[in-house]
Amino acid sequence: MLGKADQSFSVSIIAALVLFFIGGLLTTVVPPMIDKSWSRPAPGLKPYTAEQLKGRAIYVREGCWYCHTQQTRTLVADTKRSGWRGVDSPVSTPDEFVYDSPHMFGTKRTGPDLSRVGGKYDTQWHRTHFRNPRDLVPGSVMPPFPWIVNNPEEFTALVAYLQTLGRAKDWRPAKDYEK
Amino acid sequence: MAEASIAIPAPVKPAQVHTDVTARWFLVSAIGYFFIIGIIALAIAAKFCWPELLGTVPALSYGRLRPLHVNGMLFGWLLAADMGLTYYFIPRLCGVKLWSEKLGVATAALWNVIILGAVFALLGGYNQGFEYAELPLPLDILVVIAWVMYGTNLFMTIARRKYQQMYVSIWYTMGTILWTAFVYITGNFATELTTGVNQANLNWMYVHNAVGLIFTPVGLAIAYYFIPKSSDTPLYSHRLSMIGFWSLAFVYVWTGAHHMLHGPISQWLQTIAIVFSVMLLIPVWSVVYNFFATVKGQWHQMRDNVPLKFLVSGTVFYLLTCFQGPMHSLRSVNAIVSKTDWIPGHAHMAVLGCFSFFAIAGTYYVAPRAWNTKLYSETLANWSFWLMMVGGLGFFVTLWLGGFWQGWQWNNPSIPFIDTVVALKPIWLVRFFSGTLIFCGIVAFAYNIMATVVGRRAYAR
């Protein structure tokens, strides 16, 4: 086969595509057929409202996802860091992300993971933090976002989205946030 | 193993047959973007050290400059330079003219429209939200059109070739054209039809293969052509190059899910991705062995042959980055380095240290020949190499050390997150200064090539 592909235009093209498509189809088309949890929403997962979707679009537009992941991985440290007031967070599962498009799992954690941030900080905290992160978290390298804070509609939508993150699972015993 | 290798066929009538108009247009615009996007790169590196910098201008905030840096470097500089170099060597390897220089120039013009469109779209916040696939839909469609124009031109050239047997660089270029088409469509169109983890899986298949099946095969095509050419030595083994090519064709596409190890994606899919990631060592080591065996006995040329310096150090970086890759995909290592600053260190070694070095070497080799002149300055070329080499090593090594340390700190939940950020500040400062050195290397390279192009009339007189 190798010698043939070396001489013939069509043989080399067909061989290159066949080899590519074996792995390509088995790893992209087949997995969602086997693992149904990729498409079945978690029991507590609600579709986004129009305002939350607007906030999500701002999260995408400003590239928040380049520095913040949204996945509590199957690592003890992740469950502790995503936890709240001494309670460890459950790990993220595929069924929590069924309504996400574009997905915001992220690849880089310059800032903390946000997969369970919903409900932890109130609107006033977010307002101060977006205006200048260093006012609340000395040493932070997050950029300031004055143009969002100064636009009440955008700010409200973004906070509405952030408060949904990680809420599909009911894991915190005392629901004392957002009061 | 050391069978007589295929000598690269010489052009039929040297310097007469090939006009290289398309190659020249692609190379000049690629170099322009290398410089412009280099400034963006410095700006985002500076923002890690001084987060308030340009902070109140939405279009210049980190979240908008970073995608511009990534897309500009990948598509504006590297892919355009790679395409330009293939327009140069494919006709020569086939012993015929490029099928259509007109179509080629039109492709170059369209490519510039895409990149300029990308600058405005990304600064304006029109971001699709997928890594490496940030460009909005209209630009994605133009990329597909440009790619079809590029592929048609090269395939028609290869189909009319004079030499029956195809040299390795031809297979790799054909592979790039075919695989890129499907990988790009998956990453930019199929993702829109899915959500959640399913979408992420398609996205990572694209992200991984944007490097593995676009920049790797075309980069290797370039190295396979220019290593023997610039050292004036035949390739060590034709058979070994076939093993490398066909194992790459089979193995690379399986590994997308290794971007979500420990994450919310099926464990068995993670395991498949790990197994195939480790198998990547087969195509990589067969290529690297072939390159080193080719330059064996030619080491004295490394003293003053600048293209060869870039090619050999690019090969070393290729070996290193492709050893890191399979190792990161092991669950234990991944638990430390994933999501840390190690990853940009790894990614820059692949795209800058390896594939950009190959493209720069090719450009240094091609520029005097395509413009029928001599290089403006060998000394400046040597400076560009050392600036990029020292800057690059500073960049990669500090980010690995910093990233590994950061990963260890994250795995100790008693350390507050913000302390792990503050700990990295010296690392980011060194990264900024290393980046400045790399940028000086880019300036030296770009100036050298531009002076060669502009000064050619003086030389001809």
Cα separation, B72 vs B69, in Å, equals 5
pLDDT value of residue B13: 47
Mutate to test the interface with A, among B61, B65, B198 (most CBs of A within 10 A): B198
Chain A residues touching residue B250 (CB < 8 angstroms): 19-20, 22-23
Whether residue B14 is contained in a domain is answered as no
| Mean pLDDT, chain A, whole residue set | 92
pLDDT value of residue A119: 87
pLDDT value of residue B15: 44
Q: Domain containing B194: what range? A: 21-460
pLDDT > 90? residue B228: yes
CB nearest to B269's CB, from A17, A31, A74: A31
pLDDT > 60? residue B53: yes
Residue B172 has a CB neighbour count (10 Å cut-off) of 28
Interval B161-169 mean pLDDT: 91
- CATH pick for A50-162 out of 2.60.40.350, 1.10.760.10, 1.10.8.60, 3.50.30.10: 1.10.760.10
How many residues in total does chain B contain? 461
> Are the Cβ atoms of A143 and B131 closer than 8 angstroms?
no
Q: What is the CATH number of the domain that holds B348?
A: 1.20.210.10
CB nearest to A73's CB, from B131, B239, B263: B263
Mutate to test the interface with A, among B197, B251, B253, B276 (most CBs of A within 10 A): B197
Confidence category of residue A1, pLDDT binned at 50, 70, 90: low
Amino acid at B231: S
> Are the Cβ atoms of B196 and A13 closer than 8 angstroms?
no
Whether residue B9 is contained in a domain is answered as no
**Confidence check on the interface: ipTM exceeds 0.90, yes or no:** yes
Any residues with CB less than 8 A from the CB of A12 and at least 6 apart, and which?
A5, A6, B166, B171, B174
> Are the Cβ atoms of A99 and B171 closer than 8 angstroms?
no
Chain A residues touching residue B56 (CB < 8 angstroms): 144, 146-147
pLDDT > 70? residue B212: yes
Å between B263 CA and nearest CA of chain A = 5
CB nearest to A20's CB, from B249, B263, B335: B249
Token pair recorded at residue A97: 């992300």
Domains of chain B: total: 1
Whether residue B244 is contained in a domain is answered as yes
pLDDT value of residue A173: 66
Any residues with CB less than 8 A from the CB of B227 and at least 6 apart, and which?
B233, B235, B291, B294, B295, B308, B311, B312, B315
| Mean pLDDT, chain B, whole residue set | 93
Confidence category of residue B37, pLDDT binned at 50, 70, 90: very high
Which residue, among B137, B146, B144, B145, has the nearest Cα to B118 in the 3D structure? B137
pLDDT > 90? residue A132: yes
pLDDT > 80? residue B460: no
Amino acid at B374: K
**3-class SS at A84?**
strand
B10-14, B173-177, B249-253: least confident range? B10-14
Query: What is the residue-wise DSSP string for B351-371?
Result: IIIIIIHHHHHHHHHHHHHHT
pLDDT > 90? residue B167: yes
Burial class (CB in 10 A: 0-12, 13-18, 19+), B417: middle
Each domain of chain A, given as residue ranges in start order, spans 2-34, 50-162
pLDDT > 90? residue B455: no
> Are the Cβ atoms of A77 and B411 closer than 8 angstroms?
yes
Whether residue B403 is contained in a domain is answered as yes
pLDDT value of residue B48: 96
pTM for this prediction:
0.94
Interval B87-96 mean pLDDT: 96
CB nearest to B175's CB, from A16, A22, A27: A16
Which residue, among A11, A12, A14, has the nearest Cα to B169 in the 3D structure? A12
> Are the Cβ atoms of B165 and A23 closer than 8 angstroms?
no
pLDDT > 70? residue B319: yes
Whether residue B1 is contained in a domain is answered as no
Interval B248-274 mean pLDDT: 94
pLDDT value of residue B12: 46
